[in-house]
Amino acid sequence: MPRRIFIGIKPDDYIIKNVQSMQDQLAFLPVHWVPLQNLHVTLLPPWKPGNYEKDLEIFNTLKIARPSVPLTFTSVTFFKPKNILWAVGRKSEFLTLLIEDLRTSFNRPKDERKYLMHMTLAKHVALELHIPEVAVQWQFTATALTLLESVQTKESTEYKTLSTISLT
């Protein structure tokens, strides 16, 4: 089976604690919570590399020339088209430029959709739940980029960290 890789930012402990608290409070909901170790903000969506080793080398030699700035999630909301519960964030010039640099480095096409910073918290959310939007102020500063592999199992999708590079 061909590999599927993507680039993301893993949240810090503050964000993970907030998500854990939400999962604990809403544990009764009939949803599939994303395991805390799988939480991430996707920058480049999954692709099947033609040359896995080359993409890994490109990733490991990336030099990020701009300083990282705080990223802020402002709400947790139900996204009906995909049946997911996600944390949505503010537009970030830092992420916009970083994504452009990554697309260029990996020769990836521009996404047809406008980028929206988000982190999936739960999947397979039933449409009849009518989950209201909740305002949050979750902020963290990204310290690293992570190259991940999306591994499909019979039960779920898992994300395996292949490499991490510092943003500091």
Give the model confidence (pLDDT) of 38-86 as tens digits.
999 999 999 999 999 999 999 999 988 777 789 999 999 999 888 899 9
Mean pLDDT, to the nearest integer, of 103-111? 92
DSSP codes, the chain: ----EEEEE---HHHHHHHHHHHHHTTTSSSEEPPGGG--EEEEEEE--SSHHHHHHHHHT----S---EEEEEEEEEEGGGTEEEEEE---HHHHHHHHHHHHHHTPPPPSSPP--EEEEEES--GGG-PPPEEEEEEEE--EEEEEEEEE-SS-EEEEEEEEEE--
Which pLDDT score is estimated for 139? 96
Q: Which domains does the chain have, with CATH numbers?
A: 5-166 (3.90.1140.10)
User: What's the predicted TM-score (pTM) here?
Assistant: 0.92
